[in-house]
Amino acid sequence: MTESSPHPILLFDGVCNLCDGSVQLIVERDRDSIFRFAPLQSSAGQALLEKHGLSKTDLDSMVLIVGEKCFRRSDAALEIASRLPEPWNSLRLFRIVPRFIRNAVYNLIARYRYRWFGEKDSCMVPTEDLRRRFLD
């Protein structure tokens, strides 16, 4: 994957129930279908991580790629929210909270996400209609 996508691309932990639920929430609210998705574990996800100089084994953070910019952890979550309709885009106001505090909360949730929300044996398989929004 060498070209930049005109769509924001969300890389997520494909076996995490919380992450899968977050993707479903975004899909349902993304009326203009601007977001594209790929599990961090997929070949597309791994290629994008490598392209942007990110660890291919550190799978505890969602990554949002917008053009050549990468957002991770709470920055990714707030950037995603800012691109969704009301009331979700009002969550961008949390940018006033210092990043080290936001990321401490994010990291706590990420650390215990499997224990609190569970995990799957494999990445989700999107429906035929949703498949066009997932990178191969």
pLDDT digits (tens, 9 = 90+) for 18-68: 888 899 999 999 989 999 999 999 999 999 999 999 988 888 889 999 999
Evaluate the CA torsion angle 98, 101, 105, 107 in order and state its sign.
Answer: positive
Alpha-carbon distance of 72 to 52, in angstroms, equals 12
2 part of a folded domain: no
73 part of a folded domain: yes
Q: Is a pLDDT exceeding 90 seen at residue 131?
A: no
Give start and end residues of each alpha helix (H) in 67-121: 73-82, 99-117
Q: Which of 15, 12, 10 is nearest to 117 (CA)?
A: 15
pLDDT digits (tens, 9 = 90+) for 87-114: 998 998 999 999 999 999 999 998 988 8
pTM, two decimals, is: 0.85
Length of the chain: 136
Identify the domain containing residue 62 by its residue range. 9-124
The pLDDT value recorded for residue 122 is 55
Percent of the chain as helix, strand, coil, to the nearest 5: 45, 15, 40
Residue 16: pLDDT band with limits 50, 70, 90 = confident
Q: Is a pLDDT exceeding 60 seen at residue 124?
A: no
Q: Number of structural domains, the chain?
A: 1
Contact between 85 and 29 (Cβ < 8 Å):
yes
31 part of a folded domain: yes
3 part of a folded domain: no
